[in-house]
């Protein structure tokens, strides 16, 4: 079983900012992030890998990941 590494969330925030700069918007609210990775992979393979790692380490939880080009939305969901 893998342990949660804080750098994973840092990578997600960094990738979210990169996507925002490219004016992409992907909104995901799912019970399992595995259901979401197929849609995201076409936008960012690196983000897909990061989400898979995050989902594996947080498998007991029901995470909601919001990736947006809007800083206000990100901060509302605790990603900034």
Given a cut of 50, is residue 36 above it in pLDDT?
A: yes
How many structural domains are present in the chain?
1
Whether residue 62 is contained in a domain is answered as yes
CA distance 60 to 70: 29
- Containing structural domain, residue 66: 6-76
Whether residue 1 is contained in a domain is answered as no
CA distance 24 to 14: 14
Model pTM above 0.95: no
Whether residue 54 is contained in a domain is answered as yes
Whether residue 51 is contained in a domain is answered as yes
Whether residue 46 is contained in a domain is answered as yes
- How does pLDDT run across 45-54, given as a tens digit for each residue? 666 666 667 6
Given a cut of 60, is residue 13 above it in pLDDT?
A: yes
């Amino acid at each position: 079983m893998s342990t949660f590494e804080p750098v994973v969330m840092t990578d997600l925030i960094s990738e979210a900012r990169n996507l925002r700069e490219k004016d992409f918007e992907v909104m995901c609210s799912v019970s399992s992030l595995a259901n979401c990775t197929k849609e995201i992979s076409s936008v960012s393979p690196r983000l897909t890998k990061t989400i898979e790692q995050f989902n594996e380490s947080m498998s007991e939880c029901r995470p909601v990941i919001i990736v947006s080009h809007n800083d206000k939305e990100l901060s509302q969901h605790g990603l900034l």
